[in-house]
Amino acid sequence: MPAFDWKAAAKKQFTEEHLHLFELVKGGLLPFEEATWRQASELAQKNHGREVFDVTKLQPYYEAAISLCTFVVANGGIDFGKRQPEIYRWKGAPTALLALCALMLFVSDWDMNAAIAAFAKLLSTPEPSDLALGNVIGLNPFHEYGAWRLIIASAEVAANSPNGLDYSARLAAIETALREQHRQWKEHQP
């Protein structure tokens, strides 16, 4: 095959050989935006060797807040930007909305129906005379949540990787082995 892609074949074989690593993050809905990956890298470097809070403990609360965000944007009549609510699980919700939804859930004892009712009540109040008055606290329990999830998933993969797994070196070795297997096979063909 003149257009055979050796690099793609090496990636496929790598995936098959290390399927257990992919199983670690399967279903984890890891964010894929470049900014989140960059943020994860910065956080990992900044906090290397330090004990940090394990954000996976927040997973059910984060999921509830994202669900409320999705519901509010779809049904609340508020414009929160171009990002469609159905992709909040992968790309995150707008920061202010996520913080507000987390607050609504918190004061509703994490009861989704009570939080929706509280949000409906909030939306029916008259507009404030000064929008700056509401900007008193900036607490968001899910700040950098996606980046921390990436760091945790990366640590799990690294911990379960054989010999510190150097991805690039392993792919190059697989490609070299595949090429050698092909060369040997070709020598034995009539």
Predicted local distance difference test score (pLDDT) of residue 110: 96
pLDDT of residue 68: 92
Q: What is the pLDDT of residue 109?
A: 96
Global confidence as pTM = 0.57
Residues in the chain with pLDDT values less than 50 = none
Q: Give me the pLDDT at residue 38, please.
A: 85
What pLDDT does 125 receive?
87
Domain chopping of the chain, boundaries: 19-124+136-160
- Per 3-state DSSP, what percentage of the chain is helix, strand, and coil (rounded to 5)? 65, 0, 35
pLDDT of residue 106: 93
